[in-house]
Structure 1
Amino acid sequence: MDLVLLNTIAPVAAVVGLAGVGGWVFTTWLRVKNGYPLENSWGKAIYPRASDEAMERVKLISQENAQLRAELGSVKDRLAVIERIVTDEGHRLSHEIEALRRPAN
């Protein structure tokens, strides 16, 4: 009886143990891949040493971020002008265009 019970439980325990180890390896791989710090046995973050290559990469990404923010601001301004033109009444717009065509005195 005990041997039958052991033969039934042992494969299940082995599969559960392997699934746990596999899950731990997978989550550790995801953390490393996405740049999250690893943790020691006390839950404290273990940060990798900063290299010159990593610092240069951060600098380039920061510059690109600033450029994209400036471009986004420009696009927002242009969109506001286009929205104003589209929602503006047609006769008012035509009067403003004609006023611009007249020479200034």
Structure 2
Amino acid sequence: MKLLFDNQDVTDAICVYIADQYEGGIPEMVDDVRLCYTPSIGFTAIGEIYGEYNNLTEQDMIDAISTYLQIHHCFIPDCILVNLQYHSEIQGFGAEIIIER
């Protein structure tokens, strides 16, 4: 099965992932999420919760999407392959996700 995430889906997954790092944190408390792509570094993200900024690496972003799919859609994380994407023409982010059986 193949799923396509747009910019908002990726952002939602990051909010869930960051909130999960804090006891009592909920995704709605995560503010100022910024997604970045630079050829030399790859994908990164930053989000703020409780006044603290959390920097995410590309692997953290992949883990965030896998965690999101596990929590909200009951997918098994070990069966998820995530390919992050940056679309320069629209300056938007996305992900192509393959669910293996």
Q: Which has the larger radius of gyration?
A: 1
* Same structural fold, with TM-score higher than 0.5 when normalized by the shorter chain: no
The structure with the greater share of residues assigned to strand is: 2
Aligning the two structures, in what range does the TM-score lie when normalised by the shorter sequence? under 0.3
Q: TM-score, normalised by structure 1?
A: 0.23
The structure with the greater share of residues assigned to helix is: 1
Q: TM-score, normalised by structure 2?
A: 0.23
